[in-house]
Chains A and B, each alone.
Chain A
Amino acid sequence: MKPKQTTSKSAFWAGYRDCTPFLLVACPFALLFGVAATEAGLNILQTMAMTVLVIAGAAQFTALVLLQENAPTLIILVTALAVNLRMAMYSAALVPHLGKASPRMKMLIAYLNIDQTFGLATARYPQETEWTLADRCSYFIGASLAIMPAWVVFSYIGAAFGATIPDAFALDFAMPICFLALIAPALRSLPHVAAAATSVIGALALSWIPFSLGLIIAAFFAMLIGAQTELWLARRKP
């Protein structure tokens, strides 16, 4: 075996190992997504199609909530895609590391570009100066294969068995709890807290606006508040 292949192989397993701890978070989320999707009225095929094709938990939950509120299709898409806009930032940040890969490889990496794989890869790449382009790609794919099959399987388990769980277990609470679990660890700085608070207050104050449009307006201002708070903090530092 050529030495280069050996490194790519070890980079693959390095990615796989690094991503394994995230299973602890991804599996319960996937399970609860399956349950929440069934609660919202999606059948198993729809739940699995969404899980496999979108693979973005927060946006999937967003779509579920707005479907239940009978929001118009356009509003649901704008809101859910807004949740995913951060991934444009991820995509741009991968260019220095993976920009020279083949177009087909980049199409694959784009599909695998989720919070966890992106976070791991951009943390590890600068440390591994010896790595070739092939190694970096292998690392990304290895990390994805540690988490994505589990994401799909656990969504299926949730969707298949969610309907058989009695009402006493209050599974309607699966959705709010998942959102809180997504939001809480993200409240790590003052700008994030300010944006979240603006979002809540704005959405409640504007809930009279039809078609869930108030949420989009609230989110827009929340984003501005977050960015402005960040600037304000930066200016205060000497």
Chain B
Amino acid sequence: MTLDQPQVWTIIAALAVGTYFIRWSFLGLLGDRELPEWAVRHLRYTAVAVLPGLIAPFVLWPTATNGETDPTRLIAALVALTVGVWRKSAVGAILSGFGTLYLLQYLT
């Protein structure tokens, strides 16, 4: 796949600067200022609010199968999620997901 090169570099640069600024914000600039409780309460959920919605379409309609729902990938994803939640383990999710995918691909 070919990407728009200037766009890729713009994103890398802006993401680097933006992320660094977020990390530096209170420590380097704003100092000993309490974040209001309501802000912390919302910040706690920012990552978990973005990531699941971002990946759901890719799990349901994979690019590799041109958007056709693929039972093997779907089952492998469900296994990965279940193991990840149950064992609270990211490595467990990765290994069980790929393991299931390869097993199902071998069997079918």
Q: Taking beta carbons and an 8 Å cutoff, which residues of A are in contact with B?
A: 24-25, 28-29, 32, 40-42, 46, 49-50, 53-56, 58-60, 62-63, 65-68, 73, 76-77, 79-92, 94-96, 98-99, 103, 106-107, 109-111, 113, 168-170, 172-173, 175-188, 191-192, 195-200, 202-204, 207, 215, 218-220, 222-224, 226-227, 230-231
With both chains docked as a complex, state the minimum distance between the C-beta of A123 and any C-beta of chain B, in angstroms.
17
Cross-chain contact B51 with A86 (CB below 8 angstroms): no
Cross-chain contact A176 with B31 (CB below 8 angstroms): no
Cross-chain contact A110 with B93 (CB below 8 angstroms): no
With both chains docked as a complex, state the minimum distance between the C-beta of A33 and any C-beta of chain B, in angstroms.
12
Ordered by A's residue number, 22 sampled pairs between the chains whose C-beta atoms are within 8 Å are A46-B12, A49-B16, A54-B12, A60-B15, A79-B54, A80-B15, A85-B46, A91-B26, A92-B25, A113-B27, A172-B63, A173-B98, A176-B77, A177-B76, A179-B51, A179-B55, A181-B84, A182-B47, A203-B56, A204-B56, A222-B53, A231-B41
Q: Using a CB-CB cutoff of 8 Å, which residues 1-17 of chain B contact chain A? A: 1-3, 7-16
With both chains docked as a complex, state the minimum distance between the C-beta of B89 and any C-beta of chain A, in angstroms.
7
With both chains docked as a complex, state the minimum distance between the C-beta of B34 and any C-beta of chain A, in angstroms.
7
Q: In the complex, what residues of B have CB within 8 A of residue A192's CB?
A: 45, 48
Interface of chain A, helix or strand or loop or mixed? Answer: helix
Cross-chain contact A191 with B84 (CB below 8 angstroms): no
Q: 1/0 per residue B13-32: CB within 8 Å of A? A: 11110111011111110111
With both chains docked as a complex, state the minimum distance between the C-beta of A93 and any C-beta of chain B, in angstroms.
8
Residue from B27, B44, B58 with most neighbouring chain A CB atoms (10 Å): B27
Number of A-B contacts (CB under 8 A): 289
Additional 15 contacts, C-beta under 8 A, given A99-B32, A186-B48: A58-B51, A73-B10, A82-B49, A88-B43, A91-B22, A91-B27, A92-B34, A95-B32, A103-B28, A168-B105, A177-B77, A179-B58, A180-B97, A207-B57, A224-B42
Cross-chain contact A42 with B42 (CB below 8 angstroms): no
Q: How far is the CA of A202 from the CA of B64 in the complex (A)?
A: 24
Cross-chain contact A204 with B50 (CB below 8 angstroms): no
Find the B residue at minimum CB distance from A221.
B49
Q: A86 with B47: in contact, given A41-B3, A54-B15, A200-B52 (CB under 8 Å)? A: yes
Q: A89 with B35: in contact, given A65-B54, A68-B1, A110-B27 (CB under 8 Å)? A: yes
Q: How far is the CA of A191 from the CA of B11 in the complex (A)?
A: 31
Interface of chain B, helix or strand or loop or mixed? Answer: helix
Q: A86 with B90: in contact, given A77-B15, A95-B26, A187-B48 (CB under 8 Å)? A: no
With both chains docked as a complex, state the minimum distance between the C-beta of B79 and any C-beta of chain A, in angstroms.
9
Q: How far is the CA of A204 from the CA of B60 in the complex (A)?
A: 10
With both chains docked as a complex, state the minimum distance between the C-beta of A111 and any C-beta of chain B, in angstroms.
6
Q: How far is the CA of A75 from the CA of B77 in the complex (A)?
A: 26
Find the A residue at minimum CB distance from B90.
A181
Residue from B44, B54, B60 with most neighbouring chain A CB atoms (10 Å): B54
Q: In the complex, what residues of B have CB within 8 A of residue A169's CB?
A: 102
Q: In the complex, what residues of A have CB within 8 A of residue B84's CB?
A: 180-181, 183-185
Find the B residue at minimum CB distance from A74.
B14
With both chains docked as a complex, state the minimum distance between the C-beta of A67 and any C-beta of chain B, in angstroms.
6
Cross-chain contact B58 with A175 (CB below 8 angstroms): yes
